A and B are shown apart, each in its own frame.
Chain A
Amino acid sequence: MKFVRAGALLVVVVMTVVLFIGAGALPAIYNPQSPASTHVSDRYIEKSVEETGSLNFVTAVLADYRGYDTLGETTVIFTAGLAAVVLLRSAQKADSRGKKVPLAKAGKGMSERFGTIVLNTAARFVIPFVTLYGVYVLVGGGEGNPGGGFQSGAVLAIAIIISRLVYGEGAAFNISGDLALILAGIGTFIYAFVGVLTLLWGGNFLEYGIAPFLMSAAEKHSLGISGIEIGVTLCVMATIIAIFDALARKEEVS
């Protein structure tokens, strides 16, 4: 066993040394003439305002030039939500069958502990503002034009989680776990559906410029980006709630 550990340590050290030597051959950092800064990126910087209507170059690349990657990214979130829910739910099923499980008793009786008048009042004030802020990030967050679906989704999810923590499972402002999972799928589907629409209009997948509206090309791209950002927001929000629900429900079972 010692032998194996020593061998593993050796491999790690050798790998580190090799990587260090290899790093010497990389272009110097901060150099404006390095290949990374000159080959592909120039077009993103110089043309994106004109071609995509987005003032933020990162949004332009994320949602338009490499929009297909972002569809994959949103799908990754949805996949993680599915995986987490299937894991945590199957664990609960085993519990309810009466298997003995050591579990810390924290979190028991959550709603009684948190349901004080201070919290209730505070939550009533906080939740609308958090929700409003989430929507603001979605529609106006990216430097005066669309963008920020991921952040917006996270903020909106927090509004619902606060409500859930304070008022318990019966909160009026709540989305149940199953519904959240379905919504997450629909959110990502909205994103993909924008692509399907462009297919139906005769363009390539996610080719926003093909839309048969009377607008300039940049406006069409802006519209397309807004469409997918709504999908992203819904997916991120619903996935976070679904995972939270799967976790919280476990504590309620015990």
Chain B
Amino acid sequence: MKEQLPALIVIVPLLIALLSPLVAYFSTRLLRGLGLTAAAVSFVSAVGALGHALTKGPWHYYFGNWAPPWGIEYVIDPLSGLMAVLVSFLSLVVLIYTDSFLREEGWLKQGIHYALYLLLTAGLLGMTVTGDVFNLYVFLEISSLSAYGLIASGGYKATVSAFRYVLVGTVGASFYLLGVGYLYAITGSLNMADLTVRLQPLLDSQAVLIAMVLILVGMGIKMALFPLHGWLPDAYTYSPPAAIPFIAGVMTKVMAYVLLRYFFFIFGVLNGFVPLVLEVVGWIAALGIILASVMAIAQSDFRRMLAFSSVAQVGYIGLGLSLGNMFGFIGAVFHIINHAIMKCCLFLVAGGVKWKTGEHLIEKYAEMSRRMPLTMGAFLLGAFSMVGIPPTAGFFSKWYLILGAIEKDLWIYVVVIILSSLLNAIYFFRVIEQAYLKKAPVAEREKFVEDKKPELPATMLVPIVVLGACILVVGILNEPLVSNILLMAFPGGGL
């Protein structure tokens, strides 16, 4: 079975998702076990595939044994393998967490939730490991549709924001598909490796420029790159807490990965119109970082604040993409990893606080550090990482972005990164101040001093603590991560 690992990464969650309603009908506990097993198998396969890619070079897997460009292939290179590990790991962690929110629901609701969640996982994993641009579109739609379903199950306000998300997301997907159409018209191929070769003589053609812009706009909408972020804040705010950590942590990041894949691998950052397009992306991203950070300061709802901060953080990834050099690439990929972990962690914290107190407003966080010490500890790590304080992971990705900007003599970007870190510090400090320094009103205080129950059920607390630890571990192990994996992932295989 070992040679089938690349397929198993995606197939296993997909198979269990398809059977979820059936299994849920008989036993929801069995469903939960199967779901966790599927996510774990997918994670182990991804780790195995990444190891193979690092030691023996890229791994090509042909579906139906049809050689590309006629058939569909999966390609595990260090970059896609790393993304697959990230996605499957976060999927597993959040899946453990969701149980407490679902336990009260009927079998149908639980079955549908598990099915949609695993389909979302399979869709995102499929997008990361595929080597075919149309197959990417199919899995993009699987992940999008399941995300619409998950978001919409969060109540009436969520349906309105989900509808907006459907409209905007479909526009994004249509733009992407039209871009693929342009590429297909001028090359006749849909396979990424084949496209790379066949595009070489055509890179000065206007059609390639348009295709680039279409794909950029399409994926820009999906990853909420400023100014295409309009759908994101509402969608994140009104979603049910069982699903949103995974959606917020991973979905936009996978879309950013797709852009990296296109610009660094298929078009090539130095060819034809690419530097021009990337420069525009850079300026827009820089503007987005600042504006979204300012917007985040103005929010009173914790989740909404995190949503705007997501828009700013996606801007960092756009910035790394636009730099187009090795440090920019490393910074962007590193930030994808960091941001996925820390945003996921922060939304888990938000869900945990909601579970405990039923509140999302920042002003209700008073003295939370005494009520939920471990949760708030993880929050503190996440917040430090967002701001970029050294031992945490967030510092190092910003460091590489700054190095990349200096290498290109773009000092303005350095200023933007430092300024936005200060803005991040402002809005996270508001929450930290509430949680650690403010005293709660007396009436409420008596309530929680009496309360001898553990702060959260173990299934919720463990994921929060694990992700908090991950932020530290990734930060401390940044050097081996960069030199052993990220440098290998850079097109051309490092130095």
Partner-B contacts on A (CB < 8 A): 18-19, 21-27, 34-41, 43-44, 64-69, 72-73, 75-76, 78-80, 82-83, 85-87, 89-90, 94, 178, 181-182, 184-186, 188-189, 192-193, 195-196, 199, 203-210
Of B21, B64, B153, B186, the most chain A CB neighbours within 10 A belong to B64
Of A89, A185, A189, the most chain B CB neighbours within 10 A belong to A185
Cα of A90 to Cα of B14 in the assembled complex, Å: 25
Pair A68/B119 contact, Cβ less than 8 Å: no
Whether a CB of chain A sits under 8 angstroms from the CB of B85 is no
Whether a CB of chain A sits under 8 angstroms from the CB of B472 is no
Interface hits, B56-75 → A, CB 8 Å: 61-66, 69-72
Q: Which residue of B is nearest A74, CB measured?
A: B18
Pair B210/A40 contact, Cβ less than 8 Å: no
Whether a CB of chain A sits under 8 angstroms from the CB of B115 is yes
Pair B18/A75 contact, Cβ less than 8 Å: yes
Cα of A65 to Cα of B188 in the assembled complex, Å: 16
Residues 1-22 of chain B, each 1 if its beta carbon lies under 8 Å from chain A, else 0: 1001001000100110111111
- Please give, as numbers and ranges, the residues of chain B lying within 8 Å of A90 by CB-CB distance: 109, 153, 155
Cα of A209 to Cα of B189 in the assembled complex, Å: 25
In the complex, 14 of the A-B residue pairs with CB atoms within 8 angstroms, ordered by the A residue number, are A18-B210, A22-B207, A27-B185, A35-B186, A43-B70, A64-B66, A65-B64, A66-B134, A67-B64, A76-B138, A186-B19, A192-B14, A199-B4, A208-B64
Pair A182/B64 contact, Cβ less than 8 Å: no
- Please give, as numbers and ranges, the residues of chain A lying within 8 Å of B135 by CB-CB distance: 66, 68-69, 72
Cα of A209 to Cα of B63 in the assembled complex, Å: 12
Pair B112/A39 contact, Cβ less than 8 Å: no
Pair A26/B186 contact, Cβ less than 8 Å: yes
Pair A65/B142 contact, Cβ less than 8 Å: no
Cα of A40 to Cα of B189 in the assembled complex, Å: 6
Whether a CB of chain A sits under 8 angstroms from the CB of B190 is yes
Asked if A79 meets B119 with Cβ closer than 8 Å, knowing A27-B186, A67-B64, A207-B65, the reply is: yes
Cα of A36 to Cα of B180 in the assembled complex, Å: 12
B206 CB contact (under 8 Å) in A21, A181, A186: A21
Interface hits, B315-362 → A, CB 8 Å: none
Cα of A85 to Cα of B116 in the assembled complex, Å: 12
Pair B188/A24 contact, Cβ less than 8 Å: no
Whether a CB of chain A sits under 8 angstroms from the CB of B299 is no
Q: Which residue of B is nearest A190, CB measured?
A: B18
Pair B207/A196 contact, Cβ less than 8 Å: no
Pick the interface stretch among B40-48, B144-152, B409-417, B418-426: B144-152
Pair B149/A189 contact, Cβ less than 8 Å: no
Chain A nearest CB: distance from B100 CB in Å? 19
Chain B nearest CB: distance from A224 CB in Å? 9
Chain A nearest CB: distance from B194 CB in Å? 8
Cα of A209 to Cα of B21 in the assembled complex, Å: 32
- Please give, as numbers and ranges, the residues of chain A lying within 8 Å of B70 by CB-CB distance: 40, 43-44, 65
Pair B184/A36 contact, Cβ less than 8 Å: yes
Pair B209/A22 contact, Cβ less than 8 Å: yes
Pair B188/A39 contact, Cβ less than 8 Å: yes
Going nearest first, the 4 A-B pairs with the smallest beta carbon separation are: A83-B149, A39-B188, A22-B210, A35-B188
Q: Is the interface of A mostly helix, strand, loop or mixed?
A: helix
- Please give, as numbers and ranges, the residues of chain B lying within 8 Å of A178 by CB-CB distance: 21, 25, 108
Q: Is the interface of B mostly helix, strand, loop or mixed?
A: helix
Chain A nearest CB: distance from B13 CB in Å? 11
Q: Which residue of B is nearest A186, CB measured?
A: B22
- Please give, as numbers and ranges, the residues of chain B lying within 8 Å of A186 by CB-CB distance: 18-19, 22
Whether a CB of chain A sits under 8 angstroms from the CB of B141 is yes
Pair A203/B65 contact, Cβ less than 8 Å: yes
- Please give, as numbers and ranges, the residues of chain B lying within 8 Å of A76 by CB-CB distance: 138, 141-142, 145
Pair B119/A205 contact, Cβ less than 8 Å: no
Whether a CB of chain A sits under 8 angstroms from the CB of B205 is yes
Pair B145/A83 contact, Cβ less than 8 Å: yes
Cα of A87 to Cα of B1 in the assembled complex, Å: 39
- Please give, as numbers and ranges, the residues of chain B lying within 8 Å of A94 by CB-CB distance: 156
Chain A nearest CB: distance from B139 CB in Å? 6
Pair A185/B22 contact, Cβ less than 8 Å: yes
Cα of A87 to Cα of B160 in the assembled complex, Å: 12
A85 CB contact (under 8 Å) in B11, B112, B145: B112
Pair B207/A204 contact, Cβ less than 8 Å: no
Pair B146/A79 contact, Cβ less than 8 Å: yes
Pair B152/A75 contact, Cβ less than 8 Å: no
Whether a CB of chain A sits under 8 angstroms from the CB of B187 is yes
Q: Which residue of A is nearest B61, CB measured?
A: A204
Whether a CB of chain A sits under 8 angstroms from the CB of B182 is yes
Cα of A204 to Cα of B74 in the assembled complex, Å: 12
Chain A nearest CB: distance from B273 CB in Å? 11
B134 CB contact (under 8 Å) in A65, A69, A82: A69
A68 CB contact (under 8 Å) in B17, B19, B72, B108: B72
Pair B63/A68 contact, Cβ less than 8 Å: yes
**Supplied contacts A22-B207, A82-B21, 6 more A-B pairs, CB within 8 Å:** A23-B210, A40-B188, A40-B189, A44-B70, A64-B64, A207-B64
Cα of A186 to Cα of B1 in the assembled complex, Å: 24
Pair B190/A25 contact, Cβ less than 8 Å: no
Cα of A207 to Cα of B149 in the assembled complex, Å: 32
Whether a CB of chain A sits under 8 angstroms from the CB of B126 is yes
